[in-house]
Amino acid sequence: MNLQTLQRTMARVVMRPLTASDRMQRFTPTGQSMQGYATRFIKPNDRLTSFQRLQIYNQQYWWRVISSLMDDFVGLRAVLGDKRFEAMCKAYMLDCPSRSYTLRDLGSNLETWLRRHPQWAGRKKILAVDLASLEWAEIEAFDERSEPAFLPEHVSGLARLPAHLRLQPYIRLLHLRYPVDELLIDLREDGDETDVASNAVLERRKRKRIRKIATLRPQPIFLAVHRVDNSVYFRRLEAGEFAALQTLREGKTVQQAIRSAVRETRNSAEEMASAVERWFRNWTALGWFCAPEKESSKAGGR
């Protein structure tokens, strides 16, 4: 057995789901004894059989990926509850097994998968999908690269803006239907209080907040997930503001972005002009735009 065959053979076993009692399954998918299968490529030692040695890897794989998803999706876990969340993770990992060298990428398909399998969220489907979307956006906003920023001194007004402005790669724009940004912040604040409040009190408070938000009528919420000094923040956006940023994200011109914003509002021309001026000033101050390529290459060459 060459190395590649050995790696694939072991991966098939290691990524095979555990039993209800968290043990390795006794038979392969083809009905072969796993004990005999393990002896093909795992040596026993004076303490453990081939099956027992392989079982350790099987268990560690599943315990580690589920633990990682629990850490990355705290809000979704709170909404679904621990038991349902863990069962959902197992189903998700069977459909979307890890293809990356890093645990960071485990949840990259979770939002899309949850839309296709809404039974895991029950009546909280929309809330669950919104949370999966937000929590994955946080991961991307933290990890994605940044480019030299287009600085406020580069422009003195809208008339002097370049025709094209590129958004920083780390910015994520979300159209949500529940205030899951507020819920996630509340849940994390509760987590910071574990040294002064009992688990029972915090659990009751958490359930109360989740029920309160889950009973709200869905309504459009526009959010930017961005990064400042290696910390991720949520920023609520107006509908026109969101439309303009989305248009810029698509690579369209500043003028097209402004027209997109106008279509989303009922403001007068004067109000709209003031709003757009304010938006671009704020975005520029936050460093959300990349410097034009000429500026960027100069900065990189210094």
43-94 pLDDT tens trace: 999 999 999 999 999 999 999 999 999 999 999 999 999 999 999 999 999 9
Query: What band does 153 get if pLDDT is binned at 50, 70 and 90?
Result: low
Residues of the chain with pLDDT > 70, as a percent, come to: 91
Nearest one of 105, 103, 73 to 88, comparing CA atoms: 73
Mean pLDDT of the region 214-232: 93
| pLDDT tier, 301 (very low <50, low <70, confident <90, very high otherwise) | very low
Do 44 and 53 touch, CB atoms closer than 8 A? Answer: yes
Partnered with residue 173 across adjacent β-strands are: 224
Q: What is the pLDDT of residue 297?
A: 47
CA distance 210 to 213: 5
- Separation of alpha carbons 257 and 262, rounded Å: 9
Q: What residue ranges do the domains of the chain occupy? A: 144-178+218-302
**The token pair that represents 189 in the structure block:** 């604040």
Q: Which of 206, 215, 204 is nearest to 187 (CA)?
A: 206
Q: Considering the entire predicted model, what is its pTM? A: 0.86
Q: Which residue type is seen at 155?
A: V
Rg (Cα) of the chain, in Å, rounded? 25
Torsion sign (Cα): 274, 177, 235, 114 = negative
What are the b/e assignments for 72-92, b being 16+ CB within 10 Å? bbebbbbbbeeebbeebbeeb
- Residue predicted with more confidence, 198 or 178: 178
Report residue 135 as tokens.
């929590």
Are the C-beta atoms of residues 50 and 43 closer than 8 Å to each other?
yes
Residues 6+ apart with CB under 8 A from 226: 141, 168, 170, 171, 172, 232, 233, 235, 286, 288
Using an 8 Å Cβ cutoff, are 80 and 124 in contact?
yes
The pLDDT mean for the chain works out to 89
